[in-house]
Amino acid sequence: MPQDRYNIVFAGALVAGADPAAVRAKLGSTFRLDAAQLDNLFSGQPVVVKRDVDLMTATRFQQAFLAAGARAEIESLAPIAPPQTGDATAGADTAGLSLAPPGVPLEELDDRGPPRQPDTSALSLLPGEGWDLSDCAPPPLPTPEFDLSALALEPLDARRREDAE
């Protein structure tokens, strides 16, 4: 399998807060560039710094640019696969597919298709035929049992006599 290849491209982008003069001097000393080469590098146009290198080398170059305060991009040289022709859709069902009319915003298209009804035939609440909604009611709560053995009742007449006195 052939190894992937990359280009390193610099377009003059600097790391946030980096001094342009210091970055220029650091890149000049790191890559041994003269003033004309530095002018070309910082022209504002994308410049391919290194061509056709492996990923490890491309990463090292990118790290060197970051250490100097600049941002270099790694671009892949992988060829873009041409569109397949012939029987690319031989096994696919394309009967319900169509293209949107020209000029129609794609956000406005409803491509969800007709609404589907879920199959609930396998679901049931209770087995059998003889049930109604009262079977779905929660069970009655148990009646609480209170221990009233420590309580005593006094006759009502005795209490009224005490209050009157």
Q: Tell me the fold of 6-76.
A: Ribosomal Protein L30; Chain: A, (3.30.1390)
Residue indicated by tokens 């169509």? 98
The pLDDT confidence band at residue 111, using thresholds 50, 70 and 90, is low
Whether the model pTM is above 0.75: no
Residue 1 pLDDT class (50, 70, 90 cuts): very low
For residue range 15-51, what is the model confidence (pLDDT) as tens digits? Answer: 888 899 999 999 889 889 898 888 888 888 898 988 9
Q: Do residues 72 and 30 make contact, with C-beta atoms less than 8 angstroms apart?
A: no
- Given a contact cutoff of 8 angstroms between Cβ atoms, the answer to whether 76 and 4 are in contact is yes
What does the pLDDT look like over 79-109, one tens digit per residue?
666 656 555 555 666 676 777 777 667 666 6
Q: Is the pLDDT of residue 141 over 70?
A: yes
What residue ranges do the domains of the chain occupy?
A: 6-76
- Per-residue DSSP letter, 19: -
